[in-house]
DNA sequence: TTGATTGCAAAGCATTTGCATGCTA
DNA sequence: TAGCATGCAAATGCTTTGCAATCAA
């Protein structure tokens, strides 16, 4: 179930179809990048992903990773997320249904959450303005449980890893 | 009521106090920048504001506008907003209570809205994770009423002005 | 007078593009 | 073979900083 041949089958097919529909071409680099992207449970910048790919194929360049992420976004396999530090992060949907983010401004931890009520209210709100929503982004900034406690020590300086915490769905 | 002497009195005082508390200095540039910033009912980048300031005092430089906006943010008079186009916009609170944004991806129009229910649910959500929210940002992207209609014509290319629509509070 | 402020120019960063070469279909 | 893909290097765009001259207190 987790061997390379069968994993990410759906995603790979979606990608293939998108490539064909757009008259583009299937390449080894694109395959590898998608594979590694899906395999990684973190929010990645193009740069981050580049280094991961480097480990397995040192000939792949920044540009290709960058362009492939754009491609994956078009294909609906990736989503761009901004946490406010000026960088563009990407996340995939594999194992992660639609969700929003809480971001700890101290340690950079990212908590994924989902609230059906909030979603519903957003649509309601949009309706009132005749606005047709395509997508949305809700970020709650603040301090995570842990960083609230260790407030006594001199706070470690900002933005660490950006660990993608296992999605917890509470509605 | 709207003459220069009495307008923005509260804001100017907040700014003065912040300046004094921080051991900084009162300058003509900072006054002018604040004045023009508050007077403008749009989401402004540092660059945008720079050009507005230029009209009234051509000696003021980019850097000062940039740094003053940071200062105003610290003082709680300005808020940084990102609409996803890579730029940092600023908005003020004068005449605008806390709100969120709907952004038309076609014409760039920004609708401000507020929902007490959504606010409450966000806090509830944060509580479930032991997360202490400091602030949040909710953006709904989609098509505004007008752009839904003129969908037949070839869509005009992206990101226009970013008009700040009069805030409509619906809760 | 002291030290913050200013504005120019240049550095930083992340992102994006031009172009010659390589590779898929 | 045609033309898309690649990857290097360089350009771009926005933000930030160094520094000498200027100005508020």
Of B170, B108, B119, B76, which Cα lies nearest the Cα of A125? B170
Please answer yes or no on whether B125 and A168 come within 8 Å at the CB atom: no
B21 CB and strand C closer than 7 A: no
Rounded-to-10 torsion of CA B87, B155, A121, A167: -60
Q: Is residue A8 a contact partner of residue A38, using CB atoms and an 8 Å limit?
A: yes
Contacts of B121 in chain A (CB under 8 A): 115, 117-118, 121
Judging by DSSP bridges, how do beta strands B168-169 and B110-114 pair with one another? parallel
D5 C1' – B50 CA distance, angstroms? 42
pLDDT tens string B88-115: 999 998 888 899 999 888 788 899 999 9
Structure tokens at A111: 């908590």
Between CA B33 and CA B109, with CA B49 as vertex, the angle to 5 degrees is 135
pLDDT tens string A52-106: 999 999 999 999 999 999 999 999 999 999 888 889 999 998 888 889 999 888 7
Question: Which strand (E) or helix (H) includes residue B169?
Answer: strand B168-169
A68 CB and strand D closer than 7 A: yes
Pick A111's closest partner by Cβ from B129, B168, B170: B129
Over B35-86, what HEC string results?
Answer: HHHHHCCECECHHHHHHHHHHHCCCCCHHHHHHHHHHHHHCCCEEEEECCCC
Determine the Cα–Cα distance for residues A101 and A114; give it in Å rounded to an integer.
9
pLDDT tens string A101-149: 998 887 888 899 999 999 999 999 999 999 999 889 999 989 999 888 8
List of domains in chain A: 9-150 (1.10.10.10)
Q: pLDDT value at position B167?
A: 46
Q: pLDDT value at position B152?
A: 47
Q: pLDDT value at position B58?
A: 93
- Strand C positions closer than 7 A to protein CB: 4-9, 14-18, 23-25
A82 CB and strand C closer than 7 A: no
Q: Is residue B54 a contact partner of residue B88, using CB atoms and an 8 Å limit?
A: no
Q: pLDDT value at position A151?
A: 56
Beta pairing partners, A164: A110
Determine the Cα–Cα distance for residues B17 and A96; give it in Å rounded to an integer.
47
Q: Would you say the C-alpha torsion B8, B12, B15, B21 has a positive or negative sign?
A: negative
More confident residue, A152 or B124: B124
Q: pLDDT value at position A153?
A: 47
Contacts of A140 in chain B (CB under 8 A): 122, 125-126, 131, 133, 136
Q: pLDDT value at position A129?
A: 95
Contacts of A105 in chain B (CB under 8 A): 134
């Amino acid at each position: 179930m987790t061997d390379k041949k069968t994993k990410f089958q759906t995603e790979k097919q979606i990608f293939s179809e998108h490539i064909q529909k757009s008259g583009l071409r299937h390449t080894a680099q694109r395959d590898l990048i998608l594979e590694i992207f899906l395999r990684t449970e973190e929010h990645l910048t193009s740069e981050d992903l580049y280094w991961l790919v480097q480990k397995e194929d040192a000939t792949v360049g920044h540009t290709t990773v960058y362009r492939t992420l754009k491609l994956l976004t078009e294909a609906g396999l990736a989503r761009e997320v901004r946490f406010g530090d000026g960088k563009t992060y990407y996340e995939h949907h594999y194992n992660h249904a639609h969700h929003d983010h809480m971001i700890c401004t101290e340690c950079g931890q990212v908590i994924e959450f989902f609230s059906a009520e909030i979603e519903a209210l957003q649509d309601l709100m949009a309706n009132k303005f005749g606005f047709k929503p395509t997508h949305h982004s809700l970020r709650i900034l603040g301090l995570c449980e842990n960083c609230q406690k260790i407030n006594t020590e001199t706070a470690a300086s900002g933005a660490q890893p950006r660990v993608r915490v296992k999605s917890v769905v509470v509605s």
